A = this chain, B = another copy of it.
Amino acid sequence: MDARHDRSDFSNAKFDSGWSLRFSAEPAMHKPERAKLFSYHHRALILEEGDKASSVFEVLEGGVILFKLLPDGRRQIIEVLGVGDVFGLSATDVSDVAAEALTQVRVAVYDKRVIDSDAALRDRLFARLRQQMCALHDHALLLGRKSAQERVATFIMRLVPDRGGFACAGPKPGEGATRVDLAMTRQEIADYLGLTIETVSRAFSALRRTGIIAYDKQDAVAIGDVCRLCRLTGSH
């Protein structure tokens, strides 16, 4: 292991923002006003790298992945977005990433002028952007410094609401196994975590073998002891 900076008293546990993903529509979702609404089906391409995109997209329901391709076909999934997340704003008026629907998806598209004229909307989108920025920071740490096992453990933890982060609630007394829906294929998980599909598969198998997770359908995972999984993320 390289890059050890001695801070043995230090843990970033309490600073981990503990963001997590939700694909189901928010019950009391902000009503989108002055926005165009679009729907996309599972796996539909919403935006390509280089598409003109000066508007802001907000996910109302479902999941979206943002990815980039290298000329030789290598793919990196940059962000996995859930309800409330935003995309489409790049430095230029051309998108720097491609966007694909992970599930059936509903999005609101706001014109630049609408955003300029609506302070509340702007604040909401901006707050979310800051949240996504933190997620990108976390993910850079994962991609640059975590082992395959730690990456997969971190990935699963991100799907558990209210756990593993900054304000982790701890296990609710008498709570059974937590169930999470991966909503991504092994290939997509691999492209997100900077691994190969085989390495991801082996990491899942290893977690299952040690009894930390269980699953029959491979995308519906039951976590017996969330804290035990959390300890494998490398962050705590």
Contacts and interface: CB of A to CB of B under 8 A. Distances in A.
Contacts of A136: 133, 136-137, 140
Contacts of A96: 15-17, 134, 137-138
A154 to B, nearest CB: 11
**Residue from A66, A68, A129, A131 having most chain B Cβ neighbours under 10 A:** A68
A76 B15 contact: no
Nearest to A143: B143
A193 B78 CA distance: 16
Interface string A132-158: 011011111101111000000000000
A74 interface: yes
A24 interface: no
A4 interface: yes
Given A2-B197, A15-B96, A75-B145, 9 more contacts: A5-B75, A12-B70, A68-B141, A70-B145, A76-B140, A126-B126, A136-B136, A143-B194, A144-B193
20 contacts: A2-B196, A2-B198, A3-B190, A4-B73, A5-B69, A10-B71, A17-B90, A68-B137, A68-B140, A70-B141, A70-B234, A75-B145, A76-B144, A78-B137, A90-B130, A129-B133, A136-B136, A136-B140, A143-B144, A143-B194
Interface of A: 1-8, 10-17, 19, 49-50, 66, 68-76, 78, 89-92, 94-97, 126-127, 129-131, 133-134, 136-141, 143-146, 166, 187, 190-191, 193-198, 234-236
